C-alpha cells in the first residue's frame, strides 16, 4: 500500500512542481487531476494532465520517474448523466480521453462519478445509466483500465441538496458494479450519511480499486437545527450543509486505524490518496500544503510503516 494525494487541491501549480513537493513531503503517489484546460469546462479544478496532447503520456511519465512517484489514477469528476445532452457528450468525450491517457501511462484506473440527471427521478436515472454509461465502461475495458466511481453524493448539484451522484450508498455500489464500474472508496461521505465506513468497506472490498482519504467533522447540535439534508433558508452555497464539514485525515471523526487495518487485512495493495477539501487549511498554497502534511502525519505510520 502507498500513500498519495489528489492533485486537484493545488490547481495553480504545474505537475512538475506538485510532484517535486510531494516527494519532499514524503508522499509516494499522485492521483492526477485532468479536467479540460481553461475555457473548456475546467472551472476551478486543476488540469495537471492535458489528455488531448498526444505527448502527455511521455511527459507525465518523465515527471513521475524524476521524482520517484507513481500515478494511482487519473481523476476527472463530472456528471456523466448530465441532463443537457450536449454537455453530457462533452463530458464523455473527455472521460474517454482520460481512459486513453491512463492506458498510455499504464495507470490502472480513471476515477470519476456516475452522476445524475437532476430533472428525472432516481428510478428513471437507473434505467438511463446502462445505455448511457456502458460504452465508457466497455472502452475502459478494451484499454485495460478500470473506471472507479467515488461514493460522494454531490448534493450541491441538486437544486434541493439531494444526492446527485448515484453511487453514494452500498446499495448503489452494487448497482454500479453491475454496470461494470469499480469503487473509489472515500469514507468521509459515509460519516454524515449515517453509514458505518468500516462495515461498508468490509462488505465491499472486492470492488475497491482506489481509496481516497478525506475526513468529516460532524456537529450533532447543528444537525438538530437543520436536519440531515442541511440548511435551507440559511444555505449560502450549494454545498453549505451547516452541520458537517470535510477535514484532512486526523482532524475529523473517521477511525483511520480501523479503516487502514482493514485494507491491510484484505490485502489491498493500491494507493490511499488524500483528497484535501478542508476549509480550515485553505486560502493559500502554504496552508494547503500544511493540511497535506497533517494528513501525512496521520496516515503514514498506518500505511507505510
- How far apart are the two ends of the chain, measured CA to CA in Å? 10
For residue 99, how many other CB atoms are within 10 A of its CB?
Answer: 28
Cα–Cα dist 96/111, whole Å: 12
pLDDT at site 161: 87
Which grid coordinates are listed for 63?
515527471
- CA distances from residue 174 to 75, 98, 207, 208, 251 in whole angstroms, order as listed: 22, 24, 9, 12, 30
- pLDDT score at 160: 86
pLDDT at residue 42, as a whole number: 57
Instruction: Give the CA distances from residue 182 to residues 10, 136, 147, 189, in Å, rounded to whole numbers and listed in that order.
Output: 26, 13, 6, 17
- Asked if 29 contacts 235 with a C-beta cutoff of 8 angstroms, the reply is no
Paired strand residues for 124: none
What does the pLDDT profile of the chain (305 residues) look like in tens digits?
999 999 999 999 999 999 999 999 999 999 999 999 865 555 689 999 999 999 999 999 999 999 999 999 999 999 999 999 999 999 999 999 999 999 999 999 999 999 999 999 999 999 999 999 999 999 999 999 999 999 999 999 998 889 999 999 999 999 999 999 999 999 999 999 999 999 999 999 999 999 999 999 999 999 999 999 999 999 888 899 999 999 999 999 999 999 999 999 999 999 999 999 999 999 999 999 999 999 999 999 999 75
Residue of 108, 109, 118, 74 lying closest to 94 (CA atoms): 74
pLDDT of residue 74: 98
Q: What long-range pairs does 122-127 form, CB within 8 A, spacing at least 24?
A: 122/166, 125/81, 125/166, 126/166, 126/175
Q: Which domains does the chain have, with CATH numbers?
A: 2-303 (3.20.20.150)
Q: What is the pLDDT of residue 39?
A: 57
Instruction: State the sign of the Cα–Cα–Cα–Cα dihedral 35, 91, 99, 174.
Output: positive
CB 107 within 8 A of CB 73: yes
Please tell me the predicted confidence (pLDDT) of residue 41: 54
Amino acid at each position: 500500500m502507498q500513500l498519495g494525494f489528489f492533485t486537484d487541491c493545488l490547481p495553480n501549480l504545474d505537475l512538475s512542481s506538485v510532484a517535486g513537493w510531494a516527494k519532499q513531503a514524503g508522499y509516494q503517489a499522485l492521483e492526477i487531476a485532468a479536467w479540460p484546460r481553461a475555457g473548456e469546462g475546467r472551472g476551478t479544478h486543476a488540469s495537471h494532465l492535458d489528455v488531448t496532447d498526444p505527448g502527455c503520456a511521455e511527459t507525465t511519465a518523465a515527471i513521475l520517474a524524476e521524482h520517484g512517484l507513481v500515478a494511482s489514477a487519473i481523476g476527472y469528476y463530472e456528471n456523466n448523466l448530465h441532463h443537457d445532452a450536449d454537455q453530457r457528450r462533452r463530458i464523455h468525450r473527455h472521460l474517454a480521453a482520460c481512459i486513453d491517457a491512463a492506458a498510455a501511462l499504464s495507470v490502472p484506473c480513471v476515477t470519476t462519478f456516475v452522476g445524475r440527471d437532476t430533472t428525472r427521478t432516481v428510478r428513471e436515472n437507473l434505467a438511463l445509466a446502462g445505455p448511457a454509461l456502458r460504452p465508457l465502461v466497455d472502452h475502459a475495458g478494451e484499454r485495460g483500465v478500470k473506471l472507479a466511481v467515488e461514493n460522494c453524493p454531490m448534493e450541491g448539484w441538486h437544486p434541493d441538496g439531494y444526492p446527485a451522484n448515484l453511487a453514494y450508498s452500498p446499495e448503489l455500489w452494487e448497482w454500479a458494479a453491475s454496470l461494470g464500474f469499480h469503487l473509489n472508496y472515500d469514507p468521509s461521505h459515509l460519516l454524515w450519511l449515517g453509514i458505518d465506513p468500516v462495515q461498508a468497506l468490509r462488505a465491499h472490498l472486492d470492488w475497491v480499486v482506489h481509496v481516497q482519504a478525506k475526513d468529516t467533522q460532524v456537529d450533532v447540535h447543528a444537525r438538530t437545527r437543520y436536519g440531515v439534508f442541511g440548511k435551507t433558508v440559511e444555505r449560502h452555497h450549494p454545498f453549505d450543509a451547516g452541520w458537517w464539514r470535510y477535514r484532512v485525515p486526523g482532524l475529523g471523526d473517521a477511525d483511520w486505524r480501523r479503516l487502514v487495518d482493514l485494507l491491510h487485512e484484505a490485502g489491498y495493495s493500491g494507493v490511499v490518496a488524500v483528497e484535501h477539501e478542508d476549509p480550515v487549511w485553505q486560502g493559500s498554497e502554504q496552508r494547503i500544503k500544511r493540511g497535506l502534511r497533517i494528513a501525512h502525519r496521520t496516515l503514514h505510520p498506518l500505511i507505510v510503516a
